[in-house]
Amino acid sequence: MPRNFEYNGDLAATPLAEILATIHRYRVPGVVTASREKRTRRVFVEDGLVIFAASNEAEMGLASFLLKQGTLDADTAREAEARRARDGLRMGQVLLQMGVVTPERLNIAIAGQIRELLFDTIDWDAGEVRFEIGVRRTADFVRVDLPIPEVLLEGIRRAANVRRLVKRLGSAPALLERTGGPLESLFSEEERRLYQAVDGKTSLQQLCARGPGGLADNARLLYTFYCLGLLRKIRRSAPGAKKIQYRTEGGSLGN
């Protein structure tokens, strides 16, 4: 792949989970930038890991994360933001100077904040996305080294828009087949049993009814297998399958 490679896409057409999975598959270093409605999020990747992520949104920043976690109170968070703006420092540096966190606790907090940012962005159903290849300097930020498969597994589990994920797999009669791979070790025994049920003969509708959780959870799990390259769609479909209804807290979702 050339050093100046750049991918531009639409999250409505290709979800971020699939983009990150492809990057992981080829171990390409670079920066993924997702943006919509003046919000911009950047994900730095290297050797199949998310090494850092950042946003231009104050509500997704470190101070807001620690405020939600109860580590900071509102007054301390406001003071930290004021110091950051005045001194031009990163929030982590400010918090260390204030004695609010230790270096160890800061690293844990940054990793948690980045996870929440990634999980929320994986659920975006629209927006522009760009991937620029190239190794980035790591001296300017705290590396978190989050394996992309683990990020995808948790992010997809939290995804709210189940219907969108299922459409990526096909309609109710769609058939899937296993491709195999070492990433099966990420999953529990019950989840692996659902994976083993994928046989090229059982419809998507039947698989969603067979897994360890509810229909929506099973659909998320099958989509995770698909993203990670553990299964693929095949052209023919099982006959007689009906429309799938995925019941969530907000009601039922059909495909």
Q: Is the pLDDT of residue 171 over 60?
A: yes
pLDDT at 128: 98
Binned at pLDDT 50, 70 and 90, residue 246 comes out as low
pLDDT digits (tens, 9 = 90+) for 43-71: 999 999 999 999 999 999 999 999 999 98
Average of per-residue pLDDT across 81-97: 92
Give the span between the Cα atoms of 232 and 222, in whole angstroms: 10
DSSP the chain: --TT-EEEEETTTS-HHHHHHHHHHHT--EEEEEEETTEEEEEEEETTEEEEEEES-GGGSHHHHHHHHTSS-HHHHHHHHHHHHHHT--HHHHHHHHTSS-HHHHHHHHHHHHHHHHHHHHT--S-EEEEEES---STTS----EEHHHHHHHHHHH-S-HHHHHHHH-STTEEEEE---GGGGGS-HHHHHHHHH--SSSBHHHHHHHSSS-HHHHHHHHHHHHHTTSEEEEEEE-TTPPPPEEEETTEEEE-
The 3-class SS string of 233-250 reads EEEEECCCCCCCEEEECC
Binned at pLDDT 50, 70 and 90, residue 218 comes out as very high
Distances (CA, A) of 184 to 120, 150, 227: 24, 12, 13
Give the span between the Cα atoms of 106 and 119, in whole angstroms: 20
pTM: 0.86
The answer for residues whose C-beta is within 8 angstroms of residue 229's C-beta and 6 or more apart is 21, 25, 179, 181, 183
Does residue 244 or residue 206 have the better pLDDT? 206
pLDDT digits (tens, 9 = 90+) for 113-155: 999 999 999 999 999 999 999 988 776 788 999 999 999 999 9
Give the span between the Cα atoms of 17 and 254, in whole angstroms: 22
